[in-house]
Structure 1
Amino acid sequence: MTELNENNNELTRRRFLKTAGGAGALAGVAASGLFFGTKRLEAGEIPQKWDEAVDVVIIGSGFAGLAAAIEAKQAGASVVIIEKMPLPGGNSIINGGLMAGAGTPLQSKEKVDDSADLMYQDMVKAGLGLNHPDLAMMLAKHSAEAVAWTVALGAQYQERNTHLGGHSVPRSYYTTNNSGAGIVHPQLKKVKELGVPLIKKCFLDRILQDDDGRVKGVRVYEKYQFPKAGSGILKTIRANRAVILAAGGFCQDVPFRKLQDPKIDENVASTNHPGATGECLIEALRLHSNPIQLSWIQLGPWSCPHEKGMGIGYMFALSAAFPYGVMVAPKTGERFINELANRKIRADAIIKTGAWAVGIADQEGVRRVGKLDTMLERGIVKKFETLDGLAEEFKISREALRKTVAEYNADVRSGKDRVFGKPFQKDAKPLARAPFYGMHLWPKVHHTMGGVQIDTGARALDLYQKVIPGFYAAGEITGGIHGAVRLGSVAVTDCIVFGRIAGKNAAKERPWT
């Protein structure tokens, strides 16, 4: 009787989606100007003749998609990657270049006591307990292995761990070029060596699912001109084994993100590249994928309001002001939050002050900041011979700032932050060595924690927690791993870990006939 009810539910659900498209999916399509507003959402028809055929079709060319492509190809599958933008890499290639790993050789060298369990606990604490435990633990357990995998591909990292907000210990590798390109370029090189085609300007129009529920291929627009909906030439690609969705998040899709959180409207800037929109997520929802925590959208507290997009000022905040300096509210000249708290806590605190915060570091603190000269040339970061000069520029009370810095320095000397509990670095020193540096800080939309539900094998699950045959997902387009707040540098680890898993498992899928 149970089986009969489940089958009836399945048939009813399919019939509804064929005729109406589902309320949630239909609302999302109507809301976003980048989607085809008149596109019907009936189940895609399987073509009698395909234009191309491969074993595995991968949608997206960032960390996750490239990792999946490498593993699937090395497992013996034929693979193609499709990318809607003119250049590969998506957000990954402009990412900050930080990757978290627990129990790495670099930690051992620096005598940092860490473990997968501790990393998991940090993730769950930041995620407010909304993390799906099996996924979060899978990421933590394979984090060190994922870092080593990128090193084997040719990624180069600085010879030190970075301690980011919300992490109990320093566990983040930092690329030598201070950018995610330091990981993406070696991945692209390997993809090319393996002979995997990467088709740029190729827009996913439809994931093709048969009446038996099996995903069997995709319909795309080749020679697509972003963001011109419907541009290009329609083409079908058969996926003999599986389709892997690795298309990233929807931070730049203002209509869709406003559906999830109306406060994050067009007045809130984003660090993401222009193509970070939600049409692939909507398409996955049309296939009955289970949406997880879509309304949890993260703002980055290290963003400079004087730059567009990600910019480069975040390097000053992450490497100097937060770990070795202070962040103050100009109205009071006082610290108002632990500079190494998780991203949500800091972003919320900045917004609550009602004005751009100011990140401050001294000459000792900026020793590790990449591209500092460029920041100074652009006026993003400003340099002063005295704290009074900095206070005057940023319209902070001189007396208040002096008092704040004096109290902070006393805490550094004692080894304990008495007010906010900030964990001081082993090499932390008082904020006293001129010149001094300052930068405005205001949050930008950075990461969408929610997405489609997957299992530990990166298989996409439907509303009934059943695997959608032939359908995988990895990276930011998935949900449940990070919960309410993603810790800095864990996104790269997430993409590499689950991208590799998706690629390996997709290559093992039994071909359909």
Structure 2
Amino acid sequence: MKKFKKALVLLLSALMVFSIIGCGKTQKSGKGAFKPGTYTGEGEGIHGKIQVEVTVDENKITAVKVLKHDETPGVSDLALKKIPEDIVKYQSIGVDTIAGATVSSKGVLEAVKKALEKAGANIKDLEKKPEKDKASLKKIEKNVDVVVIGGGGSGLAAAVTAHQNGAKVLVLEKMPKVGGNTIISGAAYNAVDPKRQAKAGVEDSVDKHYTQTYEGGDKVAKPEMVRTFVENAYPGIEWLESMGMQFKDDIFTVLGALWPRSHKPVKPLGTGYIETYMNYIEKNKADIEIMVNSKATELIVENGKVVGVKAEGADDEIVAKASKGVVMATGGFAANVEMRNKYNKMWSDLTNIKTTNHVGPTGDGIFMAEKAGANLVGMEHIQLLPMGDPKTGSLSGNIEQGVENRIFVNKDGNRFVDEGARRDVMTKALFEQKDASMWVILDKHSYPTGDTKNNFNESIDELVKAGRAYKADTLEDLAKQIGANPDNLKNAVAEFNKSVETKAKDKFGRTLYKDKIDTAPFYAGARVPTAHHTMGGIEINPSAQVLDKNGKVIRGLYAAGETTGGIHGSNRLGGNALADTVVFGRIAGKSAAEGK
């Protein structure tokens, strides 16, 4: 296994071309299924066209190459490698997409489909999902101190901490790579940080963070959980920095954070977190094993204690015994439409609402824990953001850099909400606008140069070129480009600029300001509501021990991250999720290692 950091650097330095020759169990294509030859096709990736080359003989697909792409290194790499491999292996384009790189995966599949159409293939047959041959699965047994289910931010934090407390650890990750939602996140981390905040003239306190988190969730969270969270947020940053992770010195306010205490990593997206964990794991791989493509299916319970996990791998069945404890860190259920609709009480039907999440968070861990007796809390609390990409629902393409320097306008060019409000408040207001669509408006203060990047490692010039953002030297021209009323847009900006001068609360209740929107070029980016975070889940105590329906500890079972409930209440503050993964990931790992 190559070091994660080294691999990321190499991937950032060059485009990747993969040539994969098939092996393994395949679907039967049939004689004369293809017109032999080599064909090309293109699909739409997240940053433009993905071009592939597909080679077939009369009966099968023999090779797939990704020729050209502009996808994000370190995020889309596995999709560009594994999707072609699986297509050849299974002779199918019905293979699974890759977590965290869904758009890139679909782009490759679309391109291969178009190439195969040229080869005269029966596309309907090739779109069938390949089946596993269960009879050929190998039986694998593992015996460790701690099993962690889930290789996202909270799971890897738990794994590292468990090892730091003397445990031998196994991580089971159902997707083909680790990272979860953390690696594709905007990576903002909330913590009271006097040193950094003082430089910006920001006064803050742990009590203030507690109050805003508790009241921002309508006081339905468990107070002791909120207190544990806010008190351990900054120590979490110190812990990450002790392992080599770097944060920028500037503090900002991420969407819905309510206060400037958000930290931004130096590395793009959430790659800094995952790289930090994986570097540690690589150095200690004798005692920490990660098994990807390994979906946990059942907790093993003996005499009322959780002692292990059953899982299914790509080619094996796994029984993993844990002498000290099992940590559930499988994320939430924002990617499970049926589950969202089952528990939803706050929003209208969520069936057609896209999500910022990768495909993995489908509530698996919640189901397993509940079957083992765990109590679930706050399942009806589902967070929608007003910041989804209109096509994909993802956070990518979002042009905002922070709350203070931008406004939201509807299709008519009018402001309609306090842009520094709670996320649910902003999203409800957006649903009331025409087509539930808005424009984020800002200027050169947010993008001093065209190569300045957003929080998702995309430069503003790239976004404009791709038609995902609009640029103009005047507000009149910008309004024309986005189809808004020029007078309305100019008035909206003028009113905002007056408030920047006075710092007074405006008619929408806004209080967060920094720079005026008065310097060309001006920019606009479209956004829609999207499912982002599920605040409900497995109930835990401050030691991250899972509780049953009577409030008693289920021995041997711990949980952390978005799979838990009771920490954020009815609404999660922006920037609290990454801190949550670190704080309770660490607590769960330590508690499990101690067999607490």
Correspondence for 2:364: 279
* Paired AA for residue 364 in structure 2: E
> How far apart are residue 63 of structure 1 and its match?
1.2
In the alignment, structure 1 residue 350 sits paired with structure 2 residue 430 = yes
- Within the candidate set 134, 148, 153, 1:58 is matched to 148
> How far apart are residue 276 of structure 1 and its match?
1.4
- Within the candidate set 257, 260, 263, 1:173 is matched to 263
Correspondence for 1:239: 322
Q: Residues 116-195 of structure 1 correspond to what in structure 2 (within 5 A)?
A: 116-195=206-285
Correspondence for 1:36: none
Correspondence for 2:509: 421
After superposition, give the CA deviation of every residue in 1:89-122 in whole Å (9 maximum; x if it has no partner): 1111111111011134312333422111100111
The SS at the match of 1:52 is strand
Structure-1-length-normalised TM-score: 0.84
Cα distance change of structure 1 residues 354 and 471 upon mapping to structure 2, 3 Å threshold: same
- Within the candidate set 296, 305, 324, 1:214 is matched to 305
CA separation in 1, counterparts of 2:279 and 2:394?
25
Cα distance change of structure 1 residues 409 and 109 upon mapping to structure 2, 3 Å threshold: closer
> How far apart are residue 373 of structure 1 and its match?
2.4
* Paired AA for residue 499 in structure 1: G
Correspondence for 2:479: 391
In the alignment, structure 1 residue 400 sits paired with structure 2 residue 488 = yes
CA separation in 2, counterparts of 1:393 and 1:483?
40
Q: Residues 61-460 of structure 1 correspond to what in structure 2 (within 5 A)?
A: 61-195=151-285, 196-210=288-302, 212-223=303-314, 232-261=315-344, 263-306=348-391, 308-314=392-398, 316-317=399-400, 319=401, 322-331=403-412, 333-355=413-435, 356-367=437-448, 369-370=453-454, 371=458, 372-425=460-513, 428-460=514-546
CA separation in 1, counterparts of 2:232 and 2:238?
10
Contact 1:290/1:462, CA 8 A, preserved across alignment: yes
Contact 1:107/1:113, CA 8 A, preserved across alignment: yes
Tell me how many residue pairs correspond in the alignment.
446
The SS at the match of 1:365 is coil
The SS at the match of 1:301 is strand
Structure-2-length-normalised TM-score: 0.72
CA separation in 1, counterparts of 2:537 and 2:229?
16
* Paired AA for residue 203 in structure 1: K
Task: Name the structure with the higher strand share.
Answer: 2
Q: Which runs of 5+ in 2 are unaligned?
A: 1-138
Higher mean displacement: 467-476 or 352-361: 352-361
Contact 1:103/1:116, CA 8 A, preserved across alignment: no
Higher mean displacement: 469-478 or 152-161: 152-161
CA separation in 2, counterparts of 1:267 and 1:123?
29
CA separation in 2, counterparts of 1:104 and 1:166?
21
Contact 2:411/2:434, CA 8 A, preserved across alignment: no
What is the RMSD of the two structures over their aligned residues, measured on CA atoms?
A: 1.7
After superposition, give the CA deviation of every residue in 1:469-508 in whole Å (9 maximum; x if it has no partner): 0000000000010001111111011110011011111111
Contact 1:334/1:404, CA 8 A, preserved across alignment: yes
CA separation in 2, counterparts of 1:51 and 1:410?
67
- Within the candidate set 537, 551, 559, 1:473 is matched to 559
CA separation in 2, counterparts of 1:165 and 1:364?
17
Contact 2:299/2:306, CA 8 A, preserved across alignment: yes
> How far apart are residue 304 of structure 1 and its match?
2.3
In the alignment, structure 1 residue 486 sits paired with structure 2 residue 572 = yes
The SS at the match of 1:416 is coil
Q: Which runs of 4+ in 1 moved over 6 A?
A: none
Cα distance change of structure 1 residues 79 and 104 upon mapping to structure 2, 3 Å threshold: farther
Cα distance change of structure 1 residues 443 and 168 upon mapping to structure 2, 3 Å threshold: closer
Identity %: 32
> How far apart are residue 364 of structure 1 and its match?
1.7
